[in-house]
Amino acid sequence: MTMTVPNILTVLRLLAAPGVALMFLYFSRPAADWFALILFVSAAVTDWFDGYLARAWKQESKLGAMLDPIADKAMVVIALMVIVGYSSMSPWLVLPATFILFREVFVSGLREFLGDTAGTLKVTPLAKWKTTLQMVAIAVLFAQGVFEHYLGISVIGMNPDIFAGIMAGEIEDLHGLWWKEAGMAWAGNIGLLLLWLAAFLTLITGWDYFRKAVPFLKD
């Protein structure tokens, strides 16, 4: 096995996956949200670079082909676990996350069962778009956590009537509460929308893989 630059980037992305969860164990929020966001986005960017460099430098390898989808799945699964774990368990968040996790487990099980014939389930362009959309949605949801906790810090000890007056524009906003609340709301709504779109593509690609595997599942 040759550790080329593309392979090193893939390994770093794989190691970054549990690192996202560790940020919330060793740092308090909102610092943990910031670190998780930066680590996740940096790792997601390498997902494009390692494939591009492997093709450009003709360094495509079996190791990279094996680790790349594992790193992608680890990033998505662990990040979703963290986001759901630190959320209010809203069904609007839990449901798409459940669909995504179910599909990943299901397709991985299919590939394991098919063994040598797993090449039938090659990654499709739609599946690549699905992964990209998942990562963008997760990054936006991490950004929501940043806004949410800066807003929380700003209103500690503040009278609820004063907060309501600031948000209504009746009291001068000296603490930037309006843009923090707006950022939290926009990031939350956009993140959820993107996550639902990703879940939709996830189910479509999962069904496509199952359809292709059916001939090999018959007795």
8 A C-beta contact, residue 63 and residue 72: no
8 A C-beta contact, residue 36 and residue 82: yes
Lowest mean pLDDT among 32-41, 45-54, 122-131, 133-142: 45-54
Element (H, E) at 123: none
Which pLDDT score, from 0 to 100, does residue 100 have?
92
8 A C-beta contact, residue 64 and residue 49: no
Tell me what the pLDDT averaged over the chain comes to.
82
Element (H, E) at 192: helix 177-217
pLDDT tens figures, 104-131: 888 888 877 776 665 556 677 787 888 8
| Token pair recorded at residue 57 | 């430098």
The one-letter amino acid code at 175 reads H
Helices (H) and strands (E) in the chain, counts: 7, 0
> Residue 157: which region, alpha, beta or left (left: phi > 0; alpha: psi -120 to 50)?
left
Alpha helix stretches (DSSP H) within the chain = 5-26, 31-56, 62-85, 91-114, 125-154, 160-167, 177-217
